[in-house]
Amino acid sequence: MKKKTLDENDFDIFVIGGGVNGAGILRDAAGRGYKCGLADMGDFGSATSSSSTKLFHGGLRYLESYQFRLVKESLRERDLLLNLMPHISWPVKFILPHNKNLRPYWILRLGLYIYDLLAGSTKLSKSVGINLRNNTVGSCLDKSFTRGLAYTDCWVEDSRLVLLNILDAEKKGAKAFSYSRVTNVQRKNGYWLVSIKSKDRSFEVKTRVLINTMGPWVNSLSQLEKNKNNQVMVRLIKGSHIVVRKLFNHNSAYIFQGKDGRIIFSIPYENDFTLIGTTEVEHKMGNEVKCSDEEKDYLCNFASGYFQRKLTKKDIVWDYSGVRALYENKNVEARNASRDYSFQLEEKKGAVLLIVYGGKITTYRKLAEKAVSKITALLNLKRKEWTATKHLPGGGFKLEDKEKLIVGILKKYKFLNRNWAERLFKTFGTDVEKVLGKAKTKKDLGRNFGSDLTEREVLWYINQEHARCVEDLIWRRSKLGLRLSSKQIRDLSSYIKKLN
């Protein structure tokens, strides 16, 4: 690619789709010095990438379908990513309760042994067998579970992961447009012309390389381009989660096996809640992405088989659903379909197209690195890989220093209580002081919209983090939607509308 002065809307690389994969690619490419841009038709991360189980994990169950390469890469990435963002990610111990009706204990032990081996050298604890009779983690479970296994994976706040990649890419010169739908793409001589429509304007950008990270919509680019040859068969699988008031008083999570061969997780969530998921249901494009009554019943019944407390739909305080786009292979069950990713790269008349299929939250950085390196190689321009060692905004500290840093914030901002300081730190990390500034009292942060969501924080999300509407703010920048009342949400929404 010849270096030349580019027009404002003239890019080296343009990405369609601001989920985790698109955001990761944008950051990687911007850091390698490319002039790049991205458009998403909604809020960044508003589709699959904010609807996951929120784990950086190897995927224990993928061992059953012999996806060793994927598990190994994911486990290595898990450790690496934890270091790059210790504010939004942290280790979580998982308990795998066992009784005689489940897969034999020795198979689970062997699976975890392989999991540990594939992880290589890691700071996270190796798997161990546990007695559930004399352990706090056993006390909320049905009495038939007397023993189990424990292993460690990591939690990540998925929607903030996407956003932090976008923000860091912007710091490196990238342009990111949310609520901007790509409506047409045309291959010209040596470049692509991309038409974009947002609420108040329509515009075009030119780019030498076009990247399709449209997730479940991956095949709709061929319709925009009117090139049916660019379609591969993807299988769409909907997965839903439910959130209930907390079912146990400790920080470990559970992985439960079902009679149908599936597994579900029960994970401590936002201090006062438990997250339970997920289902796997074939999905048709165009159908609503929503947790159905059957899925709610399925998850409640599944979890009730393990906990002493029996759950019904009435216990659900929130639910969400997302759609995975997996390679089509009709001969395998949804739970065994590969979660791996792949690329399709082509160059015609000097215009390059890279299509990304599949992928996991856990592999997004590696996927982005490989995607950008493919382009770099194609363009005969060596630009170094860099994302393995550079932390995300707010994440420039060691995990073991987290507590010390939270205490430091409490000392500096004496009006904060512990929960508030912890919430802010898990959101902004070391950038929390940029948000709070010189505030000496709660009043200095302006209006309180409820649950310590202050005007200062709201304005930060809007002015610094692309939040446009109340949903962006309470479900993706934060999870305060779980705490605010309907009236508080309405008031916040009218406040935001007045600003626009």
Ligand X SMILES: Cc1cc2nc3c(=O)[nH]c(=O)nc-3n(C[C@H](O)[C@H](O)[C@H](O)COP(=O)(O)OP(=O)(O)OC[C@H]3O[C@@H](n4cnc5c(N)ncnc54)[C@H](O)[C@@H]3O)c2cc1C
Residues that bind ligand X (CB under 6 A): 16-22, 39-42, 46-49, 51-55, 57, 181-182, 213-217, 239, 278, 322-324, 359-362
User: Which residue of this chain has its Cβ atom nearest to ligand X in the complex?
Assistant: 19
List, in sequence order, every residue forming a beta bridge with 96; answer none if it has no partner: 149
Task: Express the helix, strand and coil content of the chain in percent, nearest 5 each.
Answer: 35, 25, 35
Q: In the complex with ligand X, which residue's Cβ is closer, 164 or 361? A: 361
Q: Which is nearer to ligand X, 179 or 306 (CB)?
A: 179
In angstroms, give the least distance from the CB of 47 to ligand X: 3
- By beta-carbon proximity to ligand X, the closer residue of 322 and 429 is 322
**Least distance (Å) between residue 68 CB and ligand X:** 17
Grouping H, G, I as helix, E, B as strand and the rest as coil, residue 122 is coil
- Structure token digits, residue 495: 């406040």
CB of 366: closest distance to ligand X in angstroms?
11
Cα–Cα dist 134/468, whole Å: 50
CB of 225 to ligand X, least distance (A): 11
Place of tokens 């447009």: 177
Pick the closer one to ligand X by CB: 28 or 40: 40
Return the SS3 of 288: coil
Cα radius of gyration rounded to whole Å, the chain: 23
Indicate the residue among 119 and 458 with the shorter CB distance to ligand X: 119
496 with 458: CB under 8 angstroms? yes
Min dist CB 280 to ligand X, Å, is: 8
Mutual orientation of helices 418-428 and 402-412 as an angle, nearest 10°? 120
Neighbouring C-beta atoms of residue 218, cutoff 10 Å: 23
- In angstroms, what is the minimal distance from the CB of 52 to ligand X? 3
Which is closer to ligand X, CB of 16 or CB of 92? 16
Rounded Cα–Cα distance for residues 153 and 150 (Å): 10
Tokens of 345: 């790269």
Listed residue (401, 157, 423, 270) closest to 413, CA to CA: 423
Measured from the CB atom, the residue of 91 and 138 that comes closer to ligand X is 91
Q: Which amino acid is at 83?
A: N
- Provide the minimum distance between the beta carbon of 441 and ligand X in the complex, in angstroms, as a whole number: 39
